[in-house]
Amino acid sequence: MEKILKPGIPMELLSRKYKFDSEEAKEYKMASSVSDVIDDTHIEITNPVIKARSIPVHSGERYNAYFFGSKIYTAPLTIVRNRTEGNIRVVVAELTGSLQKFERRQYYRLECSIDVRFLVLTAENAKEFQAAVKEGRLLTMPGFEMGTTIDISGGGIRFTSRTDIPKDSMVITHMVATVPTGEKKNYVFLGKIIETSLMNGQRGRFDHRMKFVDMKQEARDEFVRFIFEWERDRLKKMSGLKN
């Protein structure tokens, strides 16, 4: 088990009555991370949270656990007990079944707020876009607007802006993200808008769902690693774990 589960690996707990990729499960997924591997069937995990709110779990409760390493693994899990280390609450849990590779319909989505620049490709700016790409000046091309991500994944991003981007529009997005090491990295992707809607309670602001297009596997893998590293770092900070 140690080869798959290691301290620091991010995970989620979900009641067994929900399917992981179902719409209704979104509000009930509890984020945590492995803090220690005790033996072949027992692990210690950080106290679960939902949107930064600590969720108490109790002895005997049963969940399905999902572990996000280089691949996603799942196993049934039962809470054994809680204990406290200083000001940190640690949960001891038992894996009541073997780890299985989890094949999901979607990529793991990380909720985060990152500034994103975007450029909607049109017939009017097509020639300028082609020239900018050829000359290596795409990111300085006029016409970029600003938005903010809601979540990101290996398959696409969801972001908001004050522009009503029509469905099926092709868009270039540019994000400058700080990875856990402190290094700033540029992520530039081509995507297609699959849905745009007016945000509830926010007049003049739109919610866009964009799917990546023609993304090379190496770029996708690197972006997924960034997402997992970001989530692992966030969980460590929330739980008080040290590097």
Q: Would you state the pLDDT for residue 233?
A: 72
Measured distance CA(77)–CA(95) in Å, rounded: 5
Q: Would you state the pLDDT for residue 225?
A: 78
Q: Would you state the pLDDT for residue 241?
A: 47
Q: Would you state the pLDDT for residue 1?
A: 56
Which among 154, 149, 196, 204 has a CA at the least distance from the CA of 173?
149
- Looking at the chain, which runs of residues are DSSP E strands? 10-15, 30-37, 42-46, 49-50, 53-54, 62-68, 72-85, 88-95, 100-101, 110-111, 115-120, 145-152, 156-161, 170-178, 184-198, 206-212
Say if residues 176 and 186 touch (Cβ distance below 8 Å): yes
Measured distance CA(92)–CA(85) in Å, rounded: 12
Structure tokens at 86: 């200083």
Measured distance CA(19)–CA(10) in Å, rounded: 19
Q: What string of pLDDT tens digits covers the 243 residues of the chain?
A: 557 888 888 889 999 998 887 777 878 899 998 999 999 899 999 999 987 788 999 999 999 999 987 678 999 999 999 988 777 788 999 999 999 988 765 677 788 889 999 999 999 999 999 999 999 999 999 999 999 999 998 889 999 999 999 999 999 999 998 776 777 889 999 999 999 999 886 778 999 999 999 888 888 878 877 887 777 677 666 655 444
Q: Would you state the pLDDT for residue 243?
A: 42
Q: Would you state the pLDDT for residue 72?
A: 84
Domains of the chain: 10-105 (2.30.110), 110-232 (2.40.10.220)
How much is the pTM?
0.60
